[in-house]
Structure 1
Amino acid sequence: MIEDEIRELLDRISAEMRRDYAALLREFNLHVGQEQLLCRLWRSDGMTQIQLSESLNCEPPTITNMVKSLESHGFVVRKRDPEDGRVSRVYLTPAGRNLCEPVERIWNKQLDKLLTGILPEERLLLRRLMKQMVANLLAS
């Protein structure tokens, strides 16, 4: 059945991308998902862990573990919010900021690999279809 084949292909794409990302990120002492957290901070440094949790659609304990790991590698620091001592904010260190270019190179390399042989107009259609799939899942 075509639906089963589509599901299997999506699963395989996801697994292969994750495996490739994991291998490439390991060089920088990162695990898959941590680069997404760093990306949020590259765009908006000083987010709270709740903001990160909502932005990444992850459970708060997952974010806490990611932040602890990134902190142990010297990529981020947690500081109390000066206006509300109950709130902790996550900030990039210089080492964390310096990961932006190499991680973006990894993303671009993976995207180029994934989309090789797919024409620009096919990429637009693929993007539209994938956005529809996401919308379908969120509507359920």
Structure 2
Amino acid sequence: MYVDEFERELVILAYDMKNLLRESVAPVCQEYGLTLQQLHVLIMLQKRPGVTLSDLSVRAGILRTNFSAICRKLETHGFIERRRNDKDRRACELFVTQKGHELLGVIEQTVRKQHEQVFANEPPETFDTIVKGFHALESLIAKARA
């Protein structure tokens, strides 16, 4: 029964999160010429610099063919760069550029300002609990994919 409740709540939460992103983050991305998918890739790449295109495509859950186009656009705008792997010249590692880091900072600040009133009234423990929950969910998802 507990698993059923978890799955039901997960679907509801995923839907609510998708709507929150679409309503609050997507317009900010559009201001800077980004899509939510491109922002997702930048954030993941910031978290794991030097990952290969194929590994990041799998982690992001985006088909390799679509993912290459997303990375090309980010690279064209100067937000990411590809570097050849010294050990395997066929492999390219991806990195967020200084311009990309600056853009992520601006987007983060803009979104934070949108939610400032709500966030200001919450104790730090609330955010600690939520982040721990995110990490637990991420771990569970990784196990499910293995």
Is the pair's TM-score, using the shorter chain for normalization, greater than 0.5?
yes
1:97 aligns with 2:101: yes
RMSD: 3.5
Q: Distance in 2 between matches of 1:44 and 1:137?
A: 18
Q: Distance in 2 between matches of 1:45 and 1:137?
A: 21
How far did 1:59 drift? 2.0
SS of residue in 1 equivalent to 2:90: coil
The count of residues paired between Structure 1 and Structure 2 equals 138
Question: Which residue is equivalent to 2:34?
Answer: 30
With over 3 angstroms needed to count, the CA separation of the structure-2 counterparts of 1:43 and 1:136, relative to structure 1, is closer
Query: Higher helix fraction: Structure 1 or Structure 2?
Result: 2
Question: Which residue is equivalent to 2:22?
Answer: 18
Task: Write the letter of the residue equivalent to 1:58.
Answer: I
Aligned positions of 1:69-108 closer than 5 A: 69-108=73-112
Task: Write the letter of the residue equivalent to 1:70.
Answer: L
Q: Distance in 1 between matches of 2:22 and 2:33?
A: 15
How high is the TM-score relative to the length of structure 1? 0.66
Long gaps (5+) in structure 1: none
Q: Which moved more, 1:79-88 or 1:53-62?
A: 53-62
Give % identity.
22
Aligned positions of 1:1-140 closer than 5 A: 11=15, 14-109=18-113
How far did 1:66 drift? 1.3
Alpha-carbon deviations, 1:32-85, whole Å to 9, x = none? 021221122223322111221232222222321210110121111222212111
Long gaps (5+) in structure 2: none
Moved over 4 A (4+): 6-10, 109-140
